[in-house]
Structure 1
């Protein structure tokens, strides 16, 4: 341990991060005490803290953007002891004293946690000037359900290595139609690609059009690439460093490897950690933290495909749509050719097809392109269904809902019976066609569902997906996705004996992993993700203030 440079580096990084959080919290506490002492004395009945009664508002910039600062306003003659008032005082101090001590405020754990857990569903003004729920608020529910689905699938697949009856359990489950939801669950990742493409197109393209001149547009997209990097990298790097340096020493037991550092994931991280954002192209046979292939694809799509799509739309909207359609067709064609050549079957197993197909960008950008088209359509073709007759909306809603259900359910349950030979297996050609078409079909089905929710043509579904409890959990999906496989692997290695796999064991293991993932995701987000976003936001505001002063 003492000679392990990865362990030493991990301890140093986590110690420094913990020190920053501690100092930032202490500075924030001292600043709060100083601010509180400046408030004139009031009777106890009138000066009770409103800190936990404040209802901060927020706006939805993107799936990866920080929430706006609270804008609480109170009809009192002097400042009340409220989170909003303290936030204003804190921000003034931060801008006035832009020193190291002030900058450490962004690491204040209780302040970040309170802001994080008190965000509300985003709202916008309608044509009449009234505040309404954002049309895309349903994405919160979709993200939470999708990441929970992924955690369940990984709980099953990862725990199978540490159980005594994996083959028997698999044979029994193949005969259960419900198991298709897990067996064909790779479509969940395509849902995230769809959402990312949707938000990137919906938010960034209109903003890029405000930039006049080629240089201004190039600077805009370069700034966005840096923003995305800063949004993703801190949490990713901290988790990778901790996993690589500390995991070999955190537990022991009969199921634990004799040489943990030689295990595939850890060895890959130690040998080629530097390919973090390119692990879907380089060393795909031995990736570091296997599940992070999605993050590499998402970043590459965001900084490459979206600018090209925006540039072509600026020439003519048909050119942009043709580009997106070409991405969908090329992804399906690549999937067909590779599946046919290697005989992967209709639902390629991730580990078997990881290098050539499962994590390859050319097989995944089709779902992202569907999202880009949907985002463009929602922004530039506003929904006009509210003025139509009620029966027209009902019929349209039912037909579209039926189409979405047919498309998505066919991808989930289309292979039922073939996995346990009750139905004759597909030929290689049929299997390749199924694999090629399932992802775009799934993406189109989810896109229809999102559109119906945005139009509020399915109020019951929209009400479910916009449930207030999803708002906070939706902001934890990134860190929860990062950390949950490590929790599953740790649990499997630390057991004293192999477990007997059954549905009850799987369900309760999933609940434990899900809960721990949310708790650890909260800590990681508060210590890495939120501070970096806050620093970036502060720098942007300071620059805006300086530009305003120069203009004056």
Structure 2
């Protein structure tokens, strides 16, 4: 960890200094161009020619603005989205039979190694994370769903850890009887939101990219099987490289910090990561750790990453087939969805799982973390992505339909979160709830996403699409990775048990949110953002475009 941290820090410093150097050179070039344009303007128009003064000055100002605009665009392209830089633009204007022509300097084309170094620039990566704009292919409301769900996850994990290391355990029983505490008890629905968003974005962006012909260019002349295989391997490889660098770094931090805390803390650790990670870290690397017993799992919260990656593999196959064989793809999706419902119901029924009375993490190793019980929201998200792609986000609903769907969606979310308060479900009904509740949650999210994307979101869309949420949304992945480390370190570094109280919990929660996001910004700028940029630089599509 020390060696990796030192190398990454060195690259960040070098990349940042290199960007500062390039920026200073650009500013110097702009000043030189401005001086040349002034001289050319004076020579061509004549300072004493009153009849053409106004027209020439307007031409000069227009050219000056265009020069600065083009130069800044070129710098943005080089630093943020590396691509082939064209030659400098030229502009001309005729005023009183006089011709004014200004040639801008030819910008230097950076080498691949220079672009790779720039991908570590702290200035560029910070600006990219904090950018208040989103791309044309982005559904803005997704950022709000992701940011609020991450806060919900941190709240749930905070309560779990604080309750474990508190000195007034009896108060927990009283707190859990509170009606509004169901929002914490049913926090696992926040993970279903992540699954829904993942499936939605994978489907929507894949079909959009395929419609532009970018995928077909990479496999032009190949057979359908060869092209599909190439697409699948490319999708899986891109995801693996994008996720794994920050994931493995944080896994190393977990192993070291938990070994330290297990040795020096007066409390027992919540999980045995200091023993399981050295033995089973390779399962995390392959994203298969949920296929093994939970007592062997390293980074217990990494179950989500394993499931999401396995869903991604299934989704990639469905999408590749769906481009040319839509009916087969749709039938496959439906079979997977129904199979997940049936499997979950059977497991819940045979184990007499009662979501109304059991701990929300009960049967963690049989129901909670297994991919075959959590697949529903991902597939529903994929279906929504296809719908919005096919309609180009232009769907018209009658007002009564909109009002009805919003009412049903909100009522459904409320019932799922608070509906089990003091409920007593039969074994059969409990199994049905365990089977269908996650997909029911995703159905409400489906309407919210469609409504916000087609102009029926109103104030909810304004909230979910608020630009101030974009930075928090962009570092959600790293926030998910690091927040349990922050929570555990806070609890295990104390020299006495925590004392539960409403005000204390509020302060702890907001403090842990701030600390988690600060750390996630650092990890994202150090590992996630540079890897994403490097993948763009080295992508086959860019090489073909340059060639």
Give the shorter-chain TM-score range.
0.7 to 0.9
What does residue range 464-479 of structure 1 map to in structure 2 within 5 Å?
464-479=463-478
For 1:208 and 1:456, the matched residues in 2 are separated by: 25
Query: Deviation of residue 382 (structure 1)?
Result: 4.5
What does residue range 48-447 of structure 1 map to in structure 2 within 5 Å?
76=65, 78-79=67-68, 84=73, 86-88=75-77, 96-99=110-113, 103-123=116-136, 136-166=139-169, 168-208=170-210, 210=213, 211=216, 213-214=223-224, 215-249=226-260, 255-257=266-268, 264-276=272-284, 277-312=287-322, 314-317=324-327, 319-346=328-355, 349=359, 351-382=361-392, 384-386=394-396, 392=398, 394-418=399-423, 425-447=424-446
Return 5+ residue gaps in structure 1 as ranges.
1-9, 44-72, 125-133, 419-424
Query: Deviation of residue 293 (structure 1)?
Result: 0.6
Normalised TM-score (structure 1): 0.81
2:68 aligned counterpart, secondary structure = coil
Query: Deviation of residue 516 (structure 1)?
Result: 1.0
For 1:137 and 1:483, the matched residues in 2 are separated by: 25
CA contact (8 A) 2:258 2:273 kept: no
Call closer, same or farther: CA 1:265–1:94 in 2, change over 3 Å: farther
The more displaced of 277-286 and 489-498 is 277-286
Query: Deviation of residue 279 (structure 1)?
Result: 0.8
1:498 aligned counterpart, secondary structure = coil
CA contact (8 A) 2:78 2:115 kept: no
CA contact (8 A) 2:479 2:517 kept: yes
Normalised TM-score (structure 2): 0.81
Q: Could you tell me which of 17, 21, 25 is aligned with 2:16?
A: 25
CA contact (8 A) 2:112 2:537 kept: no
CA contact (8 A) 2:147 2:476 kept: yes
CA contact (8 A) 1:177 1:416 kept: yes
Call closer, same or farther: CA 1:196–1:177 in 2, change over 3 Å: same
For 2:400 and 2:479, the matched residues in 1 are separated by: 39
User: Deviations 1:487-512 (Å, cap 9, x if unpaired)?
Assistant: 00000011121111122111111101
For 1:396 and 1:336, the matched residues in 2 are separated by: 32
User: Deviations 1:378-417 (Å, cap 9, x if unpaired)?
Assistant: 212455545x6xxx3x211110011112222221112101
Query: Deviation of residue 282 (structure 1)?
Result: 2.7
For 1:429 and 1:224, the matched residues in 2 are separated by: 40
CA contact (8 A) 1:253 1:496 kept: no
Return 5+ residue gaps in structure 2 as ranges.
35-61, 86-106
For 2:361 and 2:490, the matched residues in 1 are separated by: 21
1:417 aligned counterpart, secondary structure = coil
Call closer, same or farther: CA 1:23–1:333 in 2, change over 3 Å: same
CA contact (8 A) 1:331 1:366 kept: yes
1:505 aligned counterpart, secondary structure = helix
CA contact (8 A) 1:163 1:501 kept: yes
1:236 aligned counterpart, secondary structure = helix
For 1:335 and 1:204, the matched residues in 2 are separated by: 29
For 1:357 and 1:89, the matched residues in 2 are separated by: 48
Tell me how large the CA RMSD over aligned residues is: 2.8
CA contact (8 A) 1:404 1:445 kept: yes
CA contact (8 A) 2:116 2:537 kept: no
Query: Deviation of residue 190 (structure 1)?
Result: 0.9
CA contact (8 A) 1:252 1:494 kept: no
Query: Partner of 2:2 in structure 1?
Result: 11
